[in-house]
Amino acid sequence: MYEYFEGKIMEKNPAYMVLDCNGIGYLLNISINTFDKLPATGNCKLYAHQAIREDAHVLYGFADPEERSVFRDLISVSGVGAATARVMLSSLSPADIQQCIVNGDVARLKAVKGIGEKTAQRIIVDLKNKIGMPSSPSGGYSPTAFGGAHNNLRNEALNALETLGFVRNAAEKAIDKIMREKGNSITLEELVKMVLKNF
């Protein structure tokens, strides 16, 4: 079992990161929450979770142990897989998810793509006694500027959303709508987050 990976960032986008750890490149799937917290270049440390399936061994990376803990709690719920948990952590912060569970906020969990009412209720019932109230409210969003032309921004966002399970045509429409409203000044992570919230 891997505990963490520490190395040089070779590639970073809202869906995954590639870390060079002593000459070995590891691809770790990440959430928007983790993407926001990590630098664009240089070295970083990702806390790891390895999902072993019949057809693949998949690595997930997290900016801190708290997010990984919430991820592991979510995937312990019947009907919530790793992909769904990652979308949840891309739509809500770990502290927000904890608050939804503690407060029984079915409506807010249902607003996440792929979460129906029964799944939201199951998450709350299964985890309410397991997850305590977060020690502090989630922090404000601090966007990181992401350079590139309009088309590059659009394509990066589209690739990230497809990786998160969105249908291409629907994702394109959502991206185009937001970019018309916000213009080219919007950052990549802002764009992906807005699509996740408004899809």
The whole-angstrom separation of Cα 89 and Cα 31 is: 6
Looking at the structure, do residues 35 and 87 belong to the same domain, yes or no?
no
Looking at the structure, do residues 69 and 117 belong to the same domain, yes or no?
yes
DSSP state of 77: S
Looking at the structure, do residues 36 and 73 belong to the same domain, yes or no?
no
- Residue 96 sits in which domain range? 65-127
Residue 133 lies in a domain: no
Strands 43-52 and 4-12: antiparallel
pTM for the full predicted model: 0.71
Token pair of 151 as six digits: 């088309």
Q: pLDDT tens digits, residue range 109-135?
A: 999 988 999 999 999 999 988 775 444
The whole-angstrom separation of Cα 87 and Cα 33 is: 10
Looking at the structure, do residues 34 and 84 belong to the same domain, yes or no?
no
Domain-terminating residue out of 62, 78, 102: 62
Looking at the structure, do residues 83 and 52 belong to the same domain, yes or no?
no
Number of domains in the chain: 3
The whole-angstrom separation of Cα 66 and Cα 31 is: 13
Domain-terminating residue out of 40, 62, 84: 62
Residue 143 lies in a domain: no
The whole-angstrom separation of Cα 89 and Cα 47 is: 15
Q: pLDDT tens digits, residue range 48-78?
A: 999 988 888 999 999 999 999 999 999 999 9
The whole-angstrom separation of Cα 13 and Cα 36 is: 10
Residue 141 lies in a domain: no
SS3 of residue 185 by DSSP: helix
Looking at the structure, do residues 30 and 13 belong to the same domain, yes or no?
yes
Radius of gyration of the chain (CA): 17
Q: pLDDT tens digits, residue range 19-49?
A: 999 999 999 999 999 999 999 899 999 999 9
The enclosing domain of 19 has a CATH number of: 2.40.50.140
Looking at the structure, do residues 159 and 171 belong to the same domain, yes or no?
yes
Residue 104 lies in a domain: yes
